[in-house]
């Protein structure tokens, strides 16, 4: 993997990541295909949406259908019909999100399968082996992600364990056919972020990720810690903020030097009838859209907006028609990939700050309290706290 930094505008960066399966223009958003599928969409849809790289989940693919089966069938890309680059995460986030179904110690993370109750041990070495079997282009090492807010000592232990696992992951890497990224932890404690960044960057990974954010803290705190941490990372390697995908978050975090993002949010909220527009997110099942004979967003040229009215989408959701998932997901991912393209162009032209201000002045994000409450409800369901 080769990363080229092509332009800067303030701290915002435009670059390119060159992989064996193609080039990725950055800043980039990666749609999440947890189980070898971006829900309701196929690879042709993703190509038309200008998705440059997608993300797969090692934990879920390990459980079903199994990494050995995928390896025998030619690797994850061939298995799912996607010929572009693929990043796979390690299962570390599931160590956080599955709560009562896991326990962790220095050896790794022991999971109780949410499918059949069987027990599985994820060690740093096994996780590297699994991802090599999947044929990933960018690989994430096992890390320990903890909920925020949290005690200082717990956050410190997470940093120490993540560094230990990072060292073991590097020693387990058997080929140069993929890039291995390091992960910086530390919660919202800047002293721990600084410690983690120093330790992880000393190991000379091919890229660096910021983990452990968007897990319960406020947006302002997330922006502050992201800004602080990017300053601690090398300029000549890609910077990846894990699990962040709200439009306003993408703009704010590009502004402080982030190159890569992933999140299930655009497609998850789409399946619940929440659609991005130039003025903010709307709920398509709302009364005002039932008879609206125009696209969801008059400025949008996605397949959904070109061919269907807001009234029709509202009908699909109210009728629980499966087509609603696909059309809404196409719209939201188009909004995000188009936003990233506009960001890249504004950086190239030296106009990113003007673009950022214009976008944020018009786009109205979800109420902060509502956002946190929704996130917590989702985590409680994942952890079984209901």
Q: How far is CA 185 from CA 92, 103, 208, 226, in A?
A: 12, 18, 11, 11
Question: Does residue 25 have an active-site annotation?
Answer: no
Catalytic residue among 45, 143, 262, 297: 262
Sign of CA dihedral 142, 122, 94, 34: positive
- What is the 8-class DSSP label of residue 91? S
Q: What angle do CA 379, 214, 338 make, to 5 degrees?
A: 110
Give backbone dihedrals phi and psi of 92, rounded to 5 degrees, phi first: -60, -40
- Joined tokens for residue 242: 């894990």
Question: Does residue 262 have an active-site annotation?
Answer: yes
381 CB contacts (<8 Å, ≥6 apart)?
none
- Joined tokens for residue 223: 């922006």
Long-range contacts of 296-300 (CB under 8 A, 24+ apart): 296/331, 297/331, 297/335, 300/331, 300/334, 300/335
Q: How many Cβ atoms are within 10 Å of 360's Cβ, its own excluded?
A: 15
Strands of the sheet with 22-26, listed across from one edge: 2-9, 12-19, 22-26
Catalytic residue among 9, 89, 137, 259: 89
Active site residues: 89, 262
């Amino acid at each position: 993997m080769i990363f080229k930094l092509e332009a800067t505008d303030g701290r915002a960066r435009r670059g390119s990541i060159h992989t064996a399966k193609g080039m990725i223009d950055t800043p980039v958003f990666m749609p999440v295909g947890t189980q070898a599928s971006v829900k309701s969409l196929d690879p042709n849809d993703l190509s038309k949406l200008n998705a440059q790289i997608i993300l797969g989940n090692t934990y879920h693919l390990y459980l079903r259908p199994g990494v050995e089966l995928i390896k025998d069938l030619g690797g994850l890309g061939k298995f799912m019909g996607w010929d572009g680059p693929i990043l796979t995460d390690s299962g570390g986030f599931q160590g956080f999100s599955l709560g009562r179904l896991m326990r962790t110690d220095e050896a790794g993370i022991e999971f109780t399968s949410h499918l059949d109750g069987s027990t599985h041990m994820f060690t740093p070495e096994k996780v590297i082996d699994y991802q090599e079997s999947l044929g990933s282009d960018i690989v994430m090492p096992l890390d320990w992600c903890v909920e925020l807010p949290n005690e200082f000592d717990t956050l410190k232990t997470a940093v120490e364990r993540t560094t230990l696992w990072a060292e073991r992951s590097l020693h387990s890497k058997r080929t140069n056919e993929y890039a291995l990224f390091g992960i910086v932890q530390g919660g919202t404690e800047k002293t721990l972020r600084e410690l983690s960044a120093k330790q992880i960057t000393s190991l000379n990974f091919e890229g660096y990720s910021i983990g452990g954010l968007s897990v319960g803290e406020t947006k302002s705190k997330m922006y502050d810690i992201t800004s602080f941490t990017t300053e601690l990372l090398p300029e000549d390697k890609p910077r990846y903020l894990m699990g962040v995908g709200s439009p306003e978050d993408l703009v704010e975090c590009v502004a402080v030097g982030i190159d890569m993002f992933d999140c299930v949010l655009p497609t998850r909220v789409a399946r619940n009838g929440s659609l991005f527009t130039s003025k903010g997110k709307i709920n398509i099942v709302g009364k005002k859209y039932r008879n609206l004979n125009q696209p969801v967003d008059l400025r949008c040229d996605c397949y959904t907006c070109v061919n269907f009215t807001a009234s029709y989408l509202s009908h699909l959701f109210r009728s629980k028609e499966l087509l609603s998932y696909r059309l809404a997901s196409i719209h939201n991912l188009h909004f995000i990939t188009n936003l990233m393209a506009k960001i890249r162009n504004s950086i190239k032209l030296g106009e990113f700050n003007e673009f950022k201000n214009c976008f944020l002045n018009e786009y109205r994000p979800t109420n902060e309290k509502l956002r946190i409450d929704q996130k917590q409800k989702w985590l409680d369901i994942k952890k079984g706290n209901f």
